[in-house]
Structure 1
Amino acid sequence: MFKHYTMNQVILPLDLEIKLQENDIAYTVNELVESIPEEAFDRFLRDTGCPAYHPRMMMKIILCAYTQSVFSGRKIE
């Protein structure tokens, strides 16, 4: 079981000056990861322990960091 997340969730107030441009690489990464079938993530499911973050979300974070030449886990954090 994974923790539930959606790309449309907004909790904090957003500054309208900080927007992604329409041609930003983040949109491409999002489309790429969302195109992966759900069955590819089935092997990461566990029934015990605390629910993990969804592998899709983690993959998006890592790929976006890699596109910015950030390869260290500590810098990604």
Structure 2
Amino acid sequence: MSPQDEASILANGATIKDMEGAAVAYVADLFSVPVIFVKAVTDIVDGEKPTAEEFLQNLVAVTASLDQAVSQVIDFINGKCLSDL
């Protein structure tokens, strides 16, 4: 992790870094399109375990968590205007 990334993470109280979502959010902002992300962490790229091994180890649990989280998000936003969110 670069010193700049680490400083930004610490300054914002973040616990993860999301590169794919940042790209989607950037383009959505360019077109003034609202966006919401529901993501889960399967592996720690800078962690001690090999990334592929950790990913496979966590995939089932993450999939179940996402299933529940997506249902909750849909229930929360269903029928609301953007200004209500």
Using structure 2 for the length normalisation, give the TM-score: 0.26
Larger Rg: 2
Between 1 and 2, higher relative CO (CA 8 Å, sep ≥ 6) is seen in 1
Using structure 1 for the length normalisation, give the TM-score: 0.27
